[in-house]
Structure 1
Amino acid sequence: MLGMIVLVLISWFLLRFTIREPLAILGYRPAGLRLQQFAIALLLGILVSSAVHWTESLVTLSTWRVNPGYSWADFGAASWWNFKSVWFEELLFRGALLVLLIHWLGVRWGVVLSSVVFGVYHWFSGGVIGNIPVMIILFSTTFIMGLVWAYAYAKSGSMAIAVGSHLGWNGVSSILFSDGPNGEQLLVQVTGISYMPLAGLPSLIFFIASNAALPLILFFWIKYNIAMQSEPSQVNRQSVETDI
């Protein structure tokens, strides 16, 4: 929590003393509109993540059981971890950094460069440095997702869509399907003779397709249904006037 507070303070300082913009440029106003965008994006993240995990279970013949020892305390701890990790990443990569890059480099290069940094960051957070094939795959998927989340800010003038869909996707993965650093959560995968994991090219194809689902859905929703409705600013005007 302290890290997020420090990050917010640094963001305020950078925005205020470099491009003379308030923290509100990150897009939390008008509150009603941002809550609506956040809720829709959260629902999309939950639905797509659930569909991807369910499809993977069918393809790999996996079965699941409810964790008998799961408690509300476990749910609360995992939810809090998910909340902190998502907000940290969003503030870091779709917050002041993205705003400054757009201001200095323009929308296209700002969006691309912030997504490159987001992809490289996952090499370290995922602990895959040195494993070249995994580095390429992980960078590709996180770069594409980062592109769409940065595009969401450039198009809407707010972090709401990126935060909502990020929370929904990660929440289902880590809390419902125990796919994260929090250990066994609500559902636990049952392994045995019926468990047949994908391997080789089919695994790669499924991995790419599953990780492209949310970016594609968000992209078309944002492109055709989201318009800039935030307070005027130099960065926001540039976002509106540039079709990316």
Structure 2
Amino acid sequence: MIGILIAIVLSWLLLHLIEKKNILVLGFLPIAKRLKQFSIGFLVTGSLCVLVQYVEAYLKSSAWILNDHISNEIVLKSFWWDFKSVLTEELIFRGALLYILIQKIGSHKSILISAIAFGIYHWFSYGVLGNVMAMILVFIGTGLMGYAWAWAFSKTKSIMLAFGLHLGWNFTYNTLFSKGPLGELVFISQGGNELTDWMSFVNFITGWVLVPVFILIYVSYFVKEETVLKPKSA
């Protein structure tokens, strides 16, 4: 929670000092519209993540079973953990800095810079620094995701769709399918075989390339480009 508060304060300061704006320019209003964008984004990536997990289970000949020890309290705590971590990343990578960059150098270059920074950041968060192949794969997957989410920010003039897209994936991946750092949660993988090199490649393409490409298609064709209305001169 402290991290979020620091990110909010720093975002507000940057926007005030550089653009003479407040944090509301990140698109939190109108509330109903932004909550709708958030919800749609959450459902899109959540659904994609479910499909990816079942593709992996098919390739491994494994099955997902409900954890007998799971409880509503544990799920809520895990959701809150995902919520905090995602919001912090969004404020950093699709927040004030991206907004300011777009104002200064335009959306195309800004989106690319944001995506590159997001990919590099995950070298450290995933602990793959020094492993060249892992660094390449992580950069491709998270960089493409970062590009899609930054583009969503640019088109909607709001952080909320990108936030929903990001949280939908992370919550489903970490909490529902127990793939995150919090251990076994809602569903647990049972049985199956280790993936061969070829099957591992197919699994990587499915989850780390096709998913962000699908999201890019969604943002390109189904997300409307919004404009910021400027006040009329007297």
TM tier, shorter chain?
Answer: over 0.9
String of CA shifts for 1:101-127, please: whole Å, max 9, x gaps.
222222111110111111111010001
TM-score (norm 2): 0.92
Identity percentage of aligned residues = 36
Q: What pairs with 1:44-63 in structure 2 (closer than 5 Å)?
A: 44-63=44-63
Counterpart position of 2:154: 154
Where structure 1 has 5 or more consecutive residues not aligned to the other structure, the ranges are 234-244
CA drift of 1:65 comes to 2.4
String of CA shifts for 1:152-205, please: whole Å, max 9, x gaps.
0111101111111111111111111100000110112223xxx21223233123
1:221 aligned to 2:211?
A: no
Question: 2:151 and 2:221 mapped to 1: Cα distance?
Answer: 13
Counterpart position of 1:35: 35
String of CA shifts for 1:15-63, please: whole Å, max 9, x gaps.
1111212211111112222111111111111111001101110111112
Counterpart position of 1:180: 180
CA drift of 1:97 comes to 1.4
Q: 1:157–1:230: 8 Å Cα contact kept in structure 2?
A: yes
String of CA shifts for 1:108-155, please: whole Å, max 9, x gaps.
111101111111110100011111100100011000000010000111
Q: 1:122–1:142: 8 Å Cα contact kept in structure 2?
A: yes
Question: 1:179 and 1:218 mapped to 2: Cα distance?
Answer: 21
Partner secondary structure for residue 64 of structure 1: strand
Question: 2:30 and 2:227 mapped to 1: Cα distance?
Answer: 7
**Counterpart residue type for residue 148 of structure 2:** V
Q: 2:178–2:184: 8 Å Cα contact kept in structure 1?
A: yes
Counterpart position of 1:207: 204
**Counterpart residue type for residue 214 of structure 2:** I
Where structure 2 has 5 or more consecutive residues not aligned to the other structure, the ranges are none
TM-score (norm 1): 0.89
Counterpart position of 1:239: none
Counterpart position of 1:120: 120
